[in-house]
């Protein structure tokens, strides 16, 4: 059977790029595309289908427990066990910690960290049962080093980094590989109008290809963490 790849945050940016590169290069791949925007997901699915992938859309708020449970059940009914889980969904908002509201902090936590926990908890048991699977957790360079104005985002991404280490420790003898990805500035719609020069931002396609290349490694090898940065800067 061809692999089932579940990608959260697949409606734009890196998530959409990951879906497209897997569709182009993994013959017959079956894609479970997850995000809140069903309209945008359908546009990505259409592109992936043209490359020969079986791409299905699953609308979901990955920070909500009930929504994740419903999504996981729907994916299982459509595709069966997930082979590759890519926890890519996330959100950014900057503010000094003394000025950040509790509500905004909670939104950062839910979108970037709670989502990884909820989706992984729903999907990984199936991998453990088969003793085979791949999990990619999207952290950030903000999950390795702090910066002013990053209270909510850095805290959440540091959490993703830590959770990934725990998952690696618990799953390495169960046939499940866990990779934590730390990209620097990568093009997405959120960068539009930022004033940052394009050459200081990585193309989403480059980051997406790293996921594919890591997945293609032999099963005796795992990339536990990978850092990707723009060549010309530390963004």
Residue pLDDT, tens place only, 131-188: 999 999 999 999 999 989 999 999 999 999 999 999 999 999 999 999 999 999 898 7
The rounded mean pLDDT for the chain is 94
Per the annotation, the verdict on 109 as an active-site residue is no
* Cα 143 to Cα 129: distance, rounded to the nearest angstrom: 30
pLDDT at 193: 67
Express each pLDDT in 124-136 by its tens digit. Answer: 999 999 999 999 9
Q: Where are the beta strands (DSSP E) in 29-154?
A: 30-35, 54-59, 84-87, 133-138
Cβ 96 vs Cβ 155: under 8 Å = no
pLDDT value of position 196: 76
Question: Under a CB-based contact definition with an 8 Å cutoff, are residues 85 and 34 in contact?
Answer: no
pLDDT mean over 192-202: 76
pLDDT at 78: 97
Q: What is the CATH number of domain 4-228?
A: 3.40.50.720
Give the start-to-end residue ranges of the domains of the chain.
Answer: 4-228
């Amino acid at each position: 059977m061809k692999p089932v790849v579940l990608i959260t945050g697949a409606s734009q940016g890196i998530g959409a790029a990951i879906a497209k590169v897997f569709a182009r290069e993994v013959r017959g791949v079956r894609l479970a595309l997850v995000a809140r925007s069903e309209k945008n997901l359908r546009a990505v699915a259409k592109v992936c289908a043209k490359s020969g992938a079986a791409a299905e859309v699953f609308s979901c708020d990955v920070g909500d427990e009930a929504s994740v449970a419903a999504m996981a059940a729907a994916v299982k009914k459509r595709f069966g066990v997930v082979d590759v889980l890519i926890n890519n969904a996330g959100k950014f908002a900057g503010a000094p910690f003394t000025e950040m509201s509790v509500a905004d902090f909670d939104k950062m936590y839910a979108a970037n960290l709670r989502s990884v926990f909820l989706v992984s908890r729903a999907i990984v048991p199936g991998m453990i049962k088969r003793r085979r699977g791949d999990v990619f957790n999207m952290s950030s360079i903000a999950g390795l080093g702090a910066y002013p104005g990053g209270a909510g985002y850095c805290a959440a991404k540091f959490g993703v980094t830590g959770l990934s280490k725990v998952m690696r420790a618990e799953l390495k003898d169960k046939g499940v590989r866990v990779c934590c990805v730390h990209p620097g500035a990568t093009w997405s719609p959120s960068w539009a109008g930022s004033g940052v020069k394009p050459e200081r931002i990585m193309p989403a396609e480059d980051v997406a290809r790293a996921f594919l290349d890591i997945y293609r490694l032999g099963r005796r090898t795992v990339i536990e963490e990978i850092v990707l940065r723009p060549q010309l800067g530390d963004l």
